Amino acid sequence: MAVNPFTQFVFDLFIISAIIITAYTVNFYYLAFISRTRKESRPIIDWGTPSVTIQLPIYNEKYVAKRLVDSVCNLDYPKDKMRIMVCDDSDDDTVELLEDVVNDYKKQGFQIEHVRRGTRNGYKAGSLKHAMKSTDTDLVAIFDADFIPPTWFLKRAIPHFSKSNIGLVQCRWGHVNENYSTITQVQALSIDFHFLVEQKAKSNSHLFMNFNGTAGIWRRECIEDAGGWHTATLVEDLDLSYRAQMKGWKCLFLPDIVVDAELPAQMNGAKRQQFRWAKGSIQCAIKLLSDIGLKRNVAIEAKIQAFIQLTRHIVYPLVLIQFLTLPILLAAQVNLYVVSVLPVLTIATYLAMGPGAYMIVIRGMYHKSWKSKAKLLPALLVYNAGMSVNNTVAVFDAVLGKKNEFHRTPKYGIVTKKDDWRDKAYNLPFTQTTLLEIFFGVYGIMGIFISIFSNNPVFIPIIGIQAIGFFYIAYMSLSHTRFKRNKSSDNRPKTKKEKMANTVYKLSMIGILGIIIFGAYMAISGYNSDIYPLDRIRGNLDGIVSSSDPEMIRGHLIAIQADLDTVMVNLPETTSADGTVISKNPVWIFATESTNFLRIQSNIDAMFAGVDEISSISKDNSAFHTGMLDINDRALLLRTNIMDATPYMYVSPANIMFSVIWIAAIIGIFAALKRKKEQLNKSDEEN
């Protein structure tokens, strides 16, 4: 059966996306296999107590900055061998807080200094680059503000610089607030996948691994040999570690040395962190891949794995492409089953490639405690699906070369479930990305209906998980939004402007909820009036093809005529010079006769006439068989015509106009919220 060019293009897009996503997924399982089977002996030597500089890049971290400095100064290491550089680019209360803390430790004999460079140029990378100008120790340890190094950290990590080519020792991230909420639990599981699978596999082989920006120790000579810190990307850690390995340096991952850190508790903070990682990785791919590919001393497998790691975030746009194309293909009755028409094998393949394989990986990672972690897998699938919009925007930002701005992930000193972040400074409002998440969620609901009415219920869980993910991320982004002036004291009463901003926020939430409900109602109503009748027509045409009873065929034709009348009312018309309607076609650009509903109507009329004619003829008569063949041929042709027309019903002028109005309404609400936020920021600057 011929497929129209549009459907063929969508199908090709779907299949190509599926192949690429599958390749990246299989590679993750390959790394999981390596992480468990390859063991690299790591001799350690007693270095004694070499001098080490500990650099602490900080920007507006008043809730965790003191905790970090306290933990570093509490390290079990000689004071005269440990130089501490508090690299503070803050412009809020953090500055005064750190001045007091640093002065207190100076009085206790610590070599600690409060480094203020007077600018944020280059953000974290710029701060570390500035610190390296006055660093003369052999080793450099780095901790972000939300980390809490254990007292034994240096004594256990430093001996692993046993070989002269080891440039970096990266330690595993722990999670001080893992059980705070579902958000922190799924983040912890995702981060553990990275460290215990990817980092472990690469460290135990000749593959490139990356520095994670914190909880690691560098050999100063390695940093300098690799060209130092660059500010061209948002992930300076990934950039430097890859440049170092291209120079021949080896990076080690130590899974047994765990440094606890605070996970983002606010959804908007988690999205910001994910955005930075996704955009930065693609930036590094653009910057480094050509050099890695041309480097002769880099093994082929290492080059392939470097390409996969640096480009892996393109999976998110591909996931969205699949999500968008799947309902269109289902509506066009394209067979997407793995084996012929066996839906059970389709869902079994999906489960085996996804959740099933991940269960095996989790069991290998956590051993006795794997069952408690496995229970989080559904939540992780929903979380990752919902994050695909946020990370897709990040990928396009990088590809299009949008200007870099390093937005840090705010932390609040959250450790126990009793701790609260909602009334603290640094809270983030939702962004325009939430609009897209809502759109994809509503689209997912339509996709579920299409799966039902096209008799493809096997795809409901696949579409449903993603739709739930989009709504969940959007809901949490909205519910976690707070408007608070970051530079003010936490204990002061709210100002009139803040109260007004929160009132606008609450009204906006009501407005957005109303728009979503109205949009969902219109989408379902539109599907019921425009698309579902075409599905019923196809079903009745199938009934005609499989029947040889004229009365039964007549019944199908009557049902088809009723649905055809419903659909044709809203179709755009084309008239001749004398005003005669010559076409009713949903394809309003480059229309063809195959989707002209007047032509479809004429075929239905011919089928009615054919049924009337053969009803009075004996079934043994050759004329009866000739008439039935004609009816069957017309039914098959009409089925193809209806399938060709179905995708275009979604993009009718009326639907496009409604979508534009719907999106404009939500953008208007976003604009009002943004205006209030800017007013608060301006007030902060004036004060």
Contact 358, 377 (CB under 8 A): yes
Domain encompassing residue 644: 483-687
Confidence (pLDDT) at 628: 92
**Tokens, residue 653:** 């002028």
Average pLDDT of each block of 10 consecutive residues along the chain (687 residues)?
Answer: 71 89 91 86 79 97 96 96 96 94 96 93 94 96 97 96 93 96 96 96 94 97 96 94 96 96 95 95 95 92 96 95 90 70 57 74 87 92 95 94 83 91 86 87 87 82 93 91 54 60 69 75 78 86 90 93 88 82 80 85 92 88 90 91 80 74 74 65 54
Residues 6 or more apart whose CB falls under 8 angstroms from that of 58 comprise 65, 68, 86, 87, 88, 89, 90, 94, 98, 145
Position 661 in a domain: yes
Position 627 in a domain: yes
Position 532 in a domain: yes
Position 501 in a domain: yes
Per the annotation, the verdict on 237 as an active-site residue is: yes
Taking Cα atoms as reference points, which of 125, 126, 98 lies closest to residue 114?
98
Position 629 in a domain: yes
Position 672 in a domain: yes
Confidence (pLDDT) at 498: 61
Give the integer Cα–Cα distance in Å for 370 and 359. Answer: 9
Contact 201, 162 (CB under 8 A): no
Question: Which ranges of 483-586 would DSSP assign to H, the alpha helix?
Answer: 496-526, 532-545, 550-568
Confidence (pLDDT) at 683: 55
Cα 377 vs. chain centroid, distance in angstroms?
Answer: 16
Per the annotation, the verdict on 89 as an active-site residue is: yes
The amino acid at residue 368 is K
**Tokens, residue 638:** 């009409």
Tally of domains within the chain: 1
Query: Exposure pattern of 178-216 as b/e (b: 16+ CB <10 Å)?
Result: bebbebbbbbbbebbbebbbbbbbbbbbebbbbbbbbbb
Position 587 in a domain: yes
- Exactly one of 89, 144, 192, 260 is catalytic; which is it? 89
CA dihedral 631, 636, 639, 643 (to 10 degrees): -160
Position 307 in a domain: no
- Exactly one of 144, 192, 237, 239 is catalytic; which is it? 237
The length of the chain, given as a count of residues = 687
Cα 168 vs. chain centroid, distance in angstroms?
Answer: 29
Q: How many beta carbons lie within 10 A of that of residue 336, not counting itself?
A: 16
